[in-house]
Each structure stands twice: as structure tokens, then as C-alpha cells.
């Protein structure tokens, strides 16, 4: 049968999602735990690969397995074989041809940034950091330039394997909650390092080092060398993909509730 799982993970101990020879990736650890739970070799397909240090709150994967287990067992049983920083959040039996990657209608990421003269300590590795004051209105003006279909080559890693740099950005929301900024991105798909490269350029505009017009010029030029340096992965969260409503794939996990502003956004308060 085909099984779909929602997986959350803290990314700082792993070399990203995708399986690698050193076996220290989220996919490798998850598949090892699933194989131990089912006593069968298990391979998974994910909705979106994340990079080294990036966190996942609702990574959706699918797998095929001839072993029958109830849904609660897929969650609790698998979690018994996983480390504390990776956990299956939910399980469901989707339609037989459901595909975690190809059926996704879009993907969402959030970046959480601390604005403070003092670096983070308790939340080290879980948030980005800037000690400079940021202007939210300027960053929102820059963000508006990205909405729609664009060639995002200027914000693409040289290691990116995507067939096309043209992606559709549906929304970007930028809000501040106390000393924490939250950047929410919703798009058709994202290039390698795309959000981290965008974050570097947002901060250049937000602190006044570059004008909003510079952001438009960088996008139009389409060359990575004209954009700001890549920002650290610490505060970047893959909040998950979304699908047609009839597929019934969950878009919320408990891990999302502690992100700054999440409850407000979710309830429309």
C-alpha cells in the first residue's frame, strides 16, 4: 500500500534532506527508522529537498510497503526508531497514485530572524540574526517586486540542479513580533539556496545599504554575483507543501505553533 507521512526535523545536525554516502541526512535516518519498524527496506519520496541546517515542520513523504500497519502505528512505531530531532507527525493512506513531489501545488517556507544587539543563545541555530535595525516597509516594497512568475537566476546557487530557474512566487509576507521578524514565502517551487539568497538581499535593503530599486535590478540582471551574500540557514523552516483539497493532506503540525506569529496568522487575528 502507499503511505503518506508528515515529518518534522531540526536540521542543524544533518547534511540536508537528500540521501548521501555519509548517511547523515534526514532521509537516510528516516528510512533507517522506517526499515526497522517494518522489517523491510523502505525508500521514501519527499515533497521538497532541504539543505544543510534547514529545518522541516511538515515535510511530506510517500512510500510503498506490503506490510500492513494502522495509522497510529506508522506514527508511534516509526518514532520509536528515530532520534529526538526527527519525528513523524501524522500518517495517512492516500490514493494509490499519490506523489508527494509531483502532486504538490506549491510549497511554503518561513524564515525567523532575531533583530538584536546581542546574538541568540537559547534559540541559537533556530533563528537567523542581525544586529542592525531593519525597515519593514522597505523590505515589503522589495518583496512586492518578486510576486508572479520570474527568472530567479540571480538568487540561485551554482550547485542548483533545477531544470529551469523560472518559478512563481505567490506571496511573501514580512511581519515583526517583538524582536523577531518572520518572512513567509509561498511559491510553486524554490531553487537551491533561493530563500537564503533572497534573505541576504532583503536585509541589504532593510538596513538601508541598498535601495529598493537595486533589488529590481538584481532580479532583472539574472546573475548571482550582483545579489547579496547567502544568508545562514539557521532560521529557515520548510513549513510544507500543499495539495488539492480532495487529497486531504494535512498542512499543519504542532511544531508550527511556536513560530513567532503563527497562531495569529492561522486564526486571522
Q: Cβ distance 90 to 254 under 8 Å?
A: no
Domain assignment present for residue 268? The answer is: no
pLDDT at position 262 = 62
CATH of residue 17's domain is 3.30.70.580
Tell me: pLDDT of 244 over 80. yes
C-alpha neighbours within 13 Å on the C-beta side of residue 186 = 8
128 and 224 part of one domain:
yes
97, 98, 104, 105: CA torsion to nearest 10: 70
145 and 226 part of one domain:
yes
Domain assignment present for residue 254? The answer is: no
68 and 121 part of one domain:
no
DSSP state of 40: S
Q: Which of 72, 103, 134 is the last residue of a domain?
A: 103
For residues 39-49, average pLDDT: 96
pLDDT at position 30 = 98
Q: Which of 48, 80, 103 is the last residue of a domain?
A: 103
226 and 136 part of one domain:
yes
pLDDT tens-digit readout, 132-183:
999 999 999 999 999 999 999 999 998 888 899 999 999 999 999 999 999 9
Query: What percent of the chain is modeled with pLDDT above 90?
Result: 89
Domain assignment present for residue 75? The answer is: yes
Tell me: pLDDT of 74 over 60. yes
C-alpha neighbours within 13 Å on the C-beta side of residue 198 = 28
Instruction: Give the long-range contacts of residues 205-211, CB within 8 A, separation 24 or more.
Output: 205/135, 205/138, 205/139, 205/141, 205/142, 206/134, 206/135, 206/136, 206/138, 206/139, 207/130, 207/132, 207/133, 207/134, 207/135, 208/135, 208/138
Domain assignment present for residue 165? The answer is: yes
CA end-to-end span of the chain, whole Å?
41
Among all residues, which ones are annotated catalytic? 51
96, 97, 103, 104: CA torsion to nearest 10: 30
6 and 53 part of one domain:
yes
Query: What percent of the chain is modeled with pLDDT above 70?
Result: 97
25 and 89 part of one domain:
yes
- Residue 162's domain comprises 106-237
Do you know the residue count of the chain?
269
Domain assignment present for residue 245? The answer is: no
146 and 115 part of one domain:
yes
Report the alpha-carbon distance of residue 251 to residue 269 in Å, rounded.
19
pLDDT tens-digit readout, 169-225:
999 999 999 999 999 999 999 999 999 999 999 999 999 999 999 999 999 999 999
Q: Cβ distance 156 to 191 under 8 Å?
A: yes
pLDDT at position 268 = 42
Domain assignment present for residue 183? The answer is: yes
Residues facing residue 64 across a β-bridge: 2
165 and 181 part of one domain:
yes
16 and 28 part of one domain:
yes
Q: Which of 83, 103, 123 is the last residue of a domain?
A: 103
135 and 42 part of one domain:
no
| Max Cα–Cα distance, the chain, nearest Å | 58
Report the alpha-carbon distance of residue 192 to residue 165 in Å, rounded.
10
Q: What is the mean pLDDT of the chain?
A: 94
pLDDT at position 43 = 96
Residues 6+ apart with CB under 8 A from 113: 127, 128, 129, 130, 180, 181, 182, 183, 199, 235
Domain assignment present for residue 255? The answer is: no
Domain assignment present for residue 243? The answer is: no
66 and 139 part of one domain:
no
Q: Cβ distance 187 to 195 under 8 Å?
A: no
* Number of domains the chain contains: 2
219 and 144 part of one domain:
yes
CATH of residue 205's domain is 3.30.70.660
Amino acid at each position: 500500500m502507499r503511505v503518506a507521512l508528515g515529518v518534522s526535523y531540526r536540521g542543524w545536525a544533518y547534511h540536508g534532506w537528500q540521501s548521501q554516502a555519509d548517511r547523515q541526512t534526514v532521509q537516510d535516518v528516516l528510512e533507517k527508522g522506517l526499515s526497522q519498524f517494518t522489517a523491510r527496506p523502505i525508500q521514501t519520496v519527499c515533497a521538497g529537498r532541504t539543505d544543510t541546517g534547514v529545518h522541516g515542520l511538515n515535510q511530506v513523504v510517500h512510500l510503498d510497503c506490503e506490510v500492513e500497519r494502522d495509522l497510529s502505528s506508522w506514527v508511534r512505531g516509526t518514532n520509536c526508531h528515530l532520534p529526538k530531532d526527527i519525528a513523524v507527525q501524522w500518517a495517512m493512506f492516500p490514493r494509490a497514485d499519490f506523489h508527494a513531489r509531483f502532486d504538490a501545488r506549491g510549497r511554503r517556507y518561513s524564515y525567523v530572524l532575531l533583530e538584536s544587539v546581542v546574538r541568540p543563545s537559547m534559540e541559537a541555530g533556530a533563528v537567523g540574526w542581525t544586529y542592525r535595525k531593519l525597515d519593514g516597509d522597505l523590505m515589503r516594497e522589495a518583496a512586492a517586486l518578486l510576486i508572479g512568475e520570474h527568472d530567479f537566476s540571480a538568487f540561485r546557487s551554482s550547485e542548483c540542479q533545477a531544470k529551469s530557474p523560472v518559478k512563481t512566487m505567490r506571496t511573501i509576507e514580512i511581519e515583526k513580533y517583538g524582536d523577531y521578524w518572520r518572512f513567509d514565502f509561498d511559491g510553486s517551487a524554490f531553487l537551491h539556496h533561493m530563500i537564503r539568497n533572497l534573505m541576504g538581499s532583503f536585509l541589504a535593503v532593510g538596513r538601508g545599504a541598498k535601495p529598493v530599486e537595486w533589488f529590481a535590478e538584481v532580479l532583472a540582471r539574472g546573475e548571482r554575483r550582483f545579489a547579496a551574500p547567502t544568508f545562514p540557514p539557521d532560521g529557515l523552516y520548510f513549513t510544507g507543501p500543499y495539495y488539492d483539497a480532495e487529497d486531504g493532506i494535512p498542512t499543519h503540525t504542532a511544531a508550527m505553533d511556536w513560530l513567532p506569529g503563527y497562531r495569529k496568522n492561522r486564526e486571522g487575528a
